[in-house]
Copies of this chain bind each other. A is one copy, B any other.
Amino acid sequence: MTDATIYLDHAAATPLDRRVFLAMQPYFSERFYNPSSPYAPALAVRQDYDAAKHVLAKSIGAKPDELVMTAGATESINLAFNSVEGHVITANIEHHAVLKAASKRPHTIIKADKKGIVSGEAVQNAITPKTQLVSIALANNEIGTVQPLRDIALAIKQEREKRFANGDTTPIYLHSDASQGAGLLDLHVARLGADLLTLNAGKVYGPKQVGLLFAASHVRLSPQIVGGGQERGLRSGTENVAGVIGFARAMELADASRKQEVQRLQGLRDQLEKQLQAAFPEAVISGHLKRRLPGNLHISFPGVDAERLVFALEMRGVLVATGSACAANKGTRSHVLTAIGLSDEIADGSLRLTLGHLSDQENTARAAAIITEEVQREQERMAK
């Protein structure tokens, strides 16, 4: 990436923080031991690994024994669904990992509203006596809408209490993929009311292919990957020591600067939104305008071909996405935008702009000017 490049796709991937890299470095070639080996230098590595899990647990108000380290959010989501065999509920704006994991079981897909909100009431109406898992992401990865997770948790709590009163022991859990909220939202599991929570280091300036699943001690997980018995038998394989230590450092850094960073990103995002709205009054901002990730701006320019726009912007050094990286790569229209009722014309003119560590006042203003020019150019081209 050159200095002139403006990266506005922090939701797809984040650069490893220099401080995270420094925390990981000793564990590559020096403290490389297998944490299960019996000699003291390996036991020291085991201690460092456990300490990192302690940091991660603390960051979400959990106990270290309630965490299972994984190779990222997708594996964590699959593992969360593996905890139940019965009916599951999720929403039509969820990530493909959630939708596909749900589709393997009896399931109900509830509809988000036009702002991408999944209400506690909608969940309540979908719960059946056989429902065992409700999975709703804390924040949507495309439009950034932050869900009223406590309302959803309340609906689940009521069902649980009803079952308890009736002597029905069928469990019902709330799982939330909080990957997009790390470093930006409160992830305290008790306050969220989540029984299961997924996090991804790669979204919070940590290493890729490192994630965790929090599972409260009352949840009975069933392993997907069996073997040497690591992670209390719930996920076997030699531990990713450097990766987990990097993840912990990344969360620690994110927690320490969360308040200021949220304010900073909100300011930059609002500035970008204001400039683009002034230039294009017809532009459509998607998602919930208040309950939204601070660095997320999902904006549609009706009639413009967003795929051409991505290319034109890239020529000017501005890197943006049309949707989530997974869907974008397949050339299919985002299911999220369809779910919230955007017409094809509006959906196809959509950019997802996500700000983060690499954003500042100067390059955000420059991005606004370049996007304005390129959208105008596209509009002129089409008017001919």
Residue positions of A touching B, CB distance < 8 A = 1, 5, 9, 12-18, 21, 28-34, 36-42, 70-75, 77-78, 95-97, 100-101, 104, 202, 207-210, 224-230, 236-243, 307, 310-311, 314, 319-322, 324-326, 328-330
Contact = CB atoms under 8 A, between A and B. Distances in A.
Give the number of copies in the complex: 2
A170 to B, nearest CB: 25
A96 B17 CA distance: 37
A258 to B, nearest CB: 21
Nearest to A21: B28
A39 B100 contact: no
14 contacts: A12-B36, A18-B29, A21-B28, A34-B325, A36-B326, A38-B328, A39-B319, A42-B319, A71-B240, A78-B225, A96-B228, A208-B239, A209-B209, A228-B325
From DSSP, what is the main secondary structure of chain A's interface residues? Answer: loop
Given A18-B29, A33-B12, A78-B224, A208 B241 contact: yes
A103 to B, nearest CB: 8
Contacts of A41: 1, 5, 319
Nearest to A25: B21
Nearest to A77: B227
A202 to B, nearest CB: 6
B9 A37 contact: yes
A228 B71 contact: no
Contacts of A40: 314
A236 B310 contact: no
Contacts of A95: 227-228
A266 to B, nearest CB: 24
B38 A238 contact: no
A325 B35 CA distance: 8
Contacts of A322: 38
B242 A208 contact: yes
Given A16-B28, A73-B237, A224 B226 contact: no
A87 to B, nearest CB: 18
A15 B41 CA distance: 13
A182 to B, nearest CB: 14
Contacts of A14: 32
Which of A29, A39, A70, A202 is the most central at the interface, judged by chain B CB atoms within 10 Å of its CB?
Answer: A39
A37 B74 contact: no
Nearest to A331: B38
A14 B28 CA distance: 9
Contacts of A71: 70-71, 75, 209, 237, 240
A208 B74 contact: no
Given A32-B13, A37-B321, A38-B321, A326 B229 contact: yes
Contact of A36 (B70, B224, B325): B325
